[in-house]
Amino acid sequence: MTYKNRLDGRKNNETRQIIAKAGVIKKADGSAYFKIGKTWAYAAVYGPRELHPRFMQNPNKGIIRYSYIMMPFSGMGERIRPGPNRRAKEISMVSQKALNSVVNLEDYPNTVVDVVVELAQADAGSRCAGICAASIALADAGIPMKDMVAAVAAGIVDNTVCLDLDYEEEHYPEFAKEKVDSEHVADIPVACIPSTGEITLLQMDGIIDSTQLIDAVKLAKEKCAEIAEIQRQAVRARYEGDKK
């Protein structure tokens, strides 16, 4: 049996429902949430502000400090120990690099822009949701950036290329209702700059063959352009809402 009907009834090139909103944390310079299905990411941006320790300062331009944290209750049952662990540190690092290429902080030497991303719920695709939320928050904070960074995961479930896998699809052999052809599941988070088509984050988990990999990345890239439009609308809506 091939994987024809997805577990939650979506089409192969369809994401879960996306809700994005800017300006949700008043104390922050810029903030946003990005909810994709049951994955909820909240992002707050502080700065540009003075950077300590001083050895991290860059006299040419400001830097971004990204922190990805899952809330203790956000997982699939077991409590997650609060604070950064090995996984969170790695995701923080790659997400920071995904955002670095769009922001332009040359006017702010020796400073830092702190991006704090917290996940209230995580149901797979959390680093993508985090990047989407962070880039809305950065735009909301008035940071100069050449474009939004949109991110979405693609992958294969039972030899079929799908977009935006959720937790059950990532563990398909466990949750499958039918007989499974291949046990392999692959998950490929892709972040890209829609205006140039450049990919700023590309990771992979699982086993996939080369033609399917190209298909999956292409599918994710196409969807990124649509997600970027949702992100821009979220920033705009904050000011257009009260205009009537």
Q: Does 63 bind another protein (CB under 8 A)?
A: no
| 226 lies in the binding site for another protein (CB under 8 A) | no
Among 89, 93, 104, 106, the residue binding another protein under the rule CB under 8 A is 104
CA atoms of 223 and 191, how far apart (whole Å): 10
The rounded distance, in Å, linking the Cα atoms of 190 and 75 is 22
Minimum Å gap between C-beta 53 and another protein is 16
Vertex 42 angle, CA 142 and 86, to 5° = 110
Interface pick for another protein out of 144, 173, 183, 205 (rule CB under 8 A): 144
Beta-bridged to residue 152, according to DSSP, are 190
SS (H, E, C) 194-220: CCCCEEEEECCECCCCHHHHHHHHHHH
47 or 155, CB closer to another protein?
47
Judged by CB under 8 A, the number of residues near another protein is 36
- CB nearer to another protein: give 148 or 208: 148
Q: Which 151-210 residues touch another protein, going by CB under 8 A?
A: 194-196
Cβ at position 235, least distance to another protein in Å? 5
The DSSP element (H or E) to which 172 belongs, if any, is helix 172-175
Enumerate residues 6+ apart whose C-beta is below 8 A from 131.
Answer: 95, 98, 99, 149, 150, 151, 191, 201
Smallest gap from Cβ 244 to another protein, in A, equals 9
Q: Which residues sit at the interface with another protein, rule CB under 8 A?
A: 29-30, 47-50, 59, 62, 102, 104, 107-111, 139-148, 194-196, 228, 232, 235-236, 239-240, 242-243
